[in-house]
Structure 1
């Protein structure tokens, strides 16, 4: 039996005082369910809110799909177990317009999007914070593995679960009203709490991939949203020499090797960039993928201003290791060591130690091989 006195200290520190009214974003998974449980055990007046993000006919039909029908049922069952209020709000139209449509548009523009960041920027934080305010709640609690220390956002203590990459676009005003009770735990500790609370989701698998992309097939999603996605075009080398044909830009991402079906080459070819204006896929050797610097757009800083001129560490993909870099100006990062797998559209999240300073989306790169680029 979990009581106020037996809650982990890291969890208690992250919660508002007992008696506070809080809204918990409940996806139906183990993390958000434990957040609701610890908030209630802490003595908070706890209200669970689940967002229906997919129309019933469009909901992914697989285990671990966020906010599908079984997840809503799980969230409701957990709320019943805890004796807390629970509401399901239909945000499918907003999700389609602001997250899914943007996802397709980014791919059509030759970029590699990160829809989980867009979702957090819009329906999950902006809109849910509005719901929390309407309900008179002091804070919105989520199951993200990050830490809010004072007015700063820090990485979660468990490197394998840290989700700070997806939250760099959180504004300072939003952060002031957000709480992340699991940021000081690892996943094993969270599952232990779920079992101690007797929650039926204690052994539920983590969600995988993008919630609205069944089986990881993002191309079928883009095709459904954008029927013009399959325009054929040329595959060319860096000098513009035609090497072959493709069946649509959405079949390719920067750094891809598999699927570049060009024969007669001495070495494997990789996708170097996509050119929507000419509908071309540009390919070349792996060495040409090395990136020395990136230029950012849509910047968000959780400190006072951009850390121009400072040495920082950077995460270029959610599961990538931190790399050393220098913030050359307000929009440009130069890496100590050239980086691979860097694609326009992805986020570059900037840290000082464990603290999230902010970041932006990569719009241009400078190749390490020839020192060219950074035009955007």
Structure 2
């Protein structure tokens, strides 16, 4: 004999080879006696609150599927910061590339979002494993080529992938060198700028390749000024003919065509141009009347010397160093001891592109 209180009861029994369905008996402070049933096939119990909860959830999903007031602008998913150290061994001479790779894919359907149907999803763990395997079988000659390889793999392997976007950032290792002799397998971490790239490819088109440099921090103690700016009732900044100029360079450029480019050499060239236009000749420097002028000079020289570059974006934060007032201590500080100020800071940006050739 079984007792059930405050429950929905569903009974299915087998009696004399016939299925008898006694559904949803409600027993409120009553006794339901099942000993009279010769054979009990199965018994399912559900609380009243569980039933109501399921009904509410089903109602929510049905309403959501019918929602035609919103539409997707863009979707994507993937794996971020997949780290790899690739070592190429040519005898005792070793070459390394350490990278962090982020992959984003867009699929042709949106059923994973709308219906919770995962049948088209390539798991992000699979994406991570693919990055590792491509590094093994194709190597990492340059981060741009590696990013293109990843895009092409997903677009060629899965017909429902419509877009692949890959970001790769290289850890700045430099080979040990002394008196012109390079070490065969030892490297030092440097701070001469981080090499990164972004590659995006649609199923119907070629890869669009951007390269860039970031975290390149530079400073000069003179040959910089800032004069002739607007002055109103809120201006307290004095004009200055001679000041420290410090910045942390972010520079990104797009290639017109990227198939036959020597990406490593091009990146070195752009970095050298940045340093050249910032510092000037080693014996006397080069005067900068504003951060804007230095930024533009870098872009003009880069596009003139590297024909593969189609456009270039640069961001130069103006990292401030202010003279410390020591007059209350009876001292005159002639720009010898300065205070670095992290925030707030000025930020100057600019993007240039090549002009279209005139048909006239």
* Relative contact order, higher structure (CA 8 A, sep 6+): 1
Larger helix share, 1 or 2: 1
Task: Give me the TM-score of the superposition, normalised by structure 2.
Answer: 0.25
Return the index of the structure with the highest Cα Rg.
2
TM-score (norm 1): 0.24
Greater strand proportion: 2
